[in-house]
Amino acid sequence: MKILTVSDKVEQLIYSPAIKRLFGDVDLVLGCGDLPFYYLEYIVTMLGGPLFYVIGNHANAVRKQYAPRQEWQYPGGCENIDGRVVRYRKLLIAGLEGSMRYNQNPFFQYTEREMAWKVWRLVPSLVLNRLLHGRYLDILITHAPPFGIHDQEDRCHQGFRAFRTLMDRFRPSYLIHGHVHVYSPTEITETIYRQTKVLNTYGYRTLEIDGGHLE
C-alpha cells in the first residue's frame, strides 16, 4: 500500500495538476497538521480518499473559519482522527493533534499531562485491536514529535513524553509527525525508537507498507 504523508508546508508539486501523475497510485493520505484546509481538500479531490489528518498548533486557519453557529469548520472530504483509531485496509491508524502548550491560545495546545490523558483515552481501542487483530496499532499520526526525537529545546517544539510511553507499551510500526521544520538536508528526520520508525514528514513523504500479512 502506498501512503502519502503531508504537513506544515504547501508543496507546489502536490498543489498542482501534476499531483495525479506523481501521486495517482497513492492508496491513502495522512495529514500531520499546520496545513491550510484548501490544500487538504485539493489533495482529497484530486487523489480520492481517504485522507486522515490531525490539526496542528497553527489553528489560525481554523479560527478564521469559525462559523457563526459556533461550530468548527473542518476540511471537507477529509477525516479528523484526533483521539481515535480507524482501520483502513487492515491498517490500524490513530491520531493525536496539537503541540506542547506555549501560550494562552485555547486550542490545539496541550500540557504533557493533558496529552498523557489523550493517550490514556486511546487505550481501550488499542487493547481491542490487540484482541481482534493481534496488535495494538500500526501507525500513529501526530503533529508534535515525541520527546527527545526530532524535537527542539523551545517550549513550542518540545516533544511529548506521552508519545514515548505509547511507543513503549503499544509498539506501533510508525509514528509520523510534523511541526519541526526542516531547513537542511543533514537534519535527522527518521529515527528508530524500539519497534517504531519515527518520521518527520515536514513537506511530504511517500511510504510503502506491505499490508499482506496483516489481519
| Site for Zn ion, rule CB under 5 A | 34, 56-57, 179
- Closest to Zn ion by CB, 56 vs 146, is 56
Cell of 183: 531547513
- Closest to Zn ion by CB, 27 vs 112, is 112
Task: Write down the least CB distance from residue 56 to Zn ion, Å.
Answer: 4
- Closest to Zn ion by CB, 136 vs 150, is 150
- Closest to Zn ion by CB, 106 vs 212, is 106
Determine the residue with CB nearest Zn ion: 179
Give the separation between CA 46 and CA 149, rounded to whole angstroms.
33
Task: Write down the least CB distance from residue 105 to Zn ion, Å.
Answer: 12
Q: How does DSSP classify residue 144?
A: S
Give the separation between CA 44 and CA 23, rounded to whole angstroms.
11
Cell of 110: 496541550
Task: Write down the least CB distance from residue 58 to Zn ion, Å.
Answer: 6
Of 173, 155, 141, 160, residue with least CA distance to 52: 141
Q: Which residues contact 124 (CB under 8 A, 6 or more apart)?
A: none
- Closest to Zn ion by CB, 56 vs 172, is 56
- Closest to Zn ion by CB, 170 vs 202, is 202
Task: Write down the least CB distance from residue 33 to Zn ion, Å.
Answer: 6
Task: Write down the least CB distance from residue 196 to Zn ion, Å.
Answer: 21
Of 137, 212, 168, 178, residue with least CA distance to 33: 178
Give the angle subtended at the CA of 153 by the CAs of 120 and 55, to the nearest 5°: 45
Strands (E), 59-118: 79-80, 85-88, 91-96, 99-100, 109-110
Q: Which residues contact 107 (CB under 8 A, 6 or more apart)?
A: 59, 62, 63
Q: How does DSSP classify residue 207?
A: E
Task: Write down the least CB distance from residue 6 to Zn ion, Å.
Answer: 13
